[in-house]
A = this chain, B = another copy of it.
Amino acid sequence: MALPKGTTVQFTSEQRLDDAVREREFTLGEIPGILWTPASASASASAPAPLILLSPPPLGLRKTYPRLLARARHSAADGFATATIELPGSGDRPRWPAAEQALAGLRLAMEADEPVSDEIIDALILPLVDKAVPEWQAALDALLSLPEVGGPVGYSGGVISIGVRLAVVEPRISAAVLFAGSFVPRVMFEEARQVTIPLHVLLQWDDEGNDRQAALDLFDAFGSKEKTLHANMGGHTGVPKFAGDAAAQFFTRHLK
């Protein structure tokens, strides 16, 4: 169900973290989210902070909160506001039957150590992209109307196909950090060619269940003149600290 145009952010809680970060939970319609801003930016006198949309992995905000917070803290120290919203079908948000079925198929294939079929990948990812992208655009509308949040806007995620679609359809996003760690429907390679914003792509070389060749092919497909691939050792959640720092530097270079 699409959000009505003009839906605003309703804050539901607020806390200060270490006097450096202001954390506010909010709802956008039915969708829960979190906004982190540099504590100094709450003074109405200071300039609005450029925004980073931090798309979570599809595991729910609660489960991934520590990882999201670590990145939001880093961004706040660099002068950025960071916002995240729950993905469709994650956390407490309603699942849809086709996704449940695709997920079951995925588990079967992975347990049997078989390649995951294009049909399963499409059924798993494409409806998620179709549902999520308008929500992130609505979140962007709502967040940019706050006086303490401004542009330019960066995107950092998560499910890479959501980032690809957003980079194509949302002109307010100026630069993106993409995480090459999820299944990519074939049709997304075509969309990738239409992406022109600067990209910083993270690839965990030994990511369990990630198709390294597909990640390299997707990187090759992006139409952007400036695109950088940072490949590091380790599994899905093992991104080294220095790689996170390099991603942060990418945003500082492009959004400040």
Q: Which residues of A contact B (CB under 8 A)?
A: 205, 216, 219-220, 224-233, 240, 242-243, 246, 249-250, 253
Nearest residue in B to A246 (C-beta to C-beta)?
Answer: B246
Contact of A226 among B227, B228, B240 (CB under 8 A): B240
Nearest residue in B to A216 (C-beta to C-beta)?
Answer: B216
- The reply to whether A228 and B232 contact each other, CB–CB distance below 8 Å, is yes
- The reply to whether B233 and A230 contact each other, CB–CB distance below 8 Å, is no
How far in angstroms is the closest Cβ of chain B from A168? 19
A interface, by DSSP: helix, strand, loop or mixed? Answer: mixed
Contact of A230 among B219, B220, B226, B229 (CB under 8 A): B229
Contact of A233 among B227, B243, B246, B249 (CB under 8 A): B227
Q: Which residues from B are CB-within-8-Å of A229?
A: 205, 229-232
Complex: A220 Cα to B224 Cα, angstroms: 26
Q: Which residues from B are CB-within-8-Å of A205?
A: 220, 229
Complex: A229 Cα to B231 Cα, angstroms: 5
Q: List 12 A-B contacts (CB under 8 A).
A: A205-B229, A224-B233, A226-B233, A226-B240, A227-B232, A227-B233, A228-B240, A228-B242, A228-B243, A229-B232, A230-B230, A242-B249
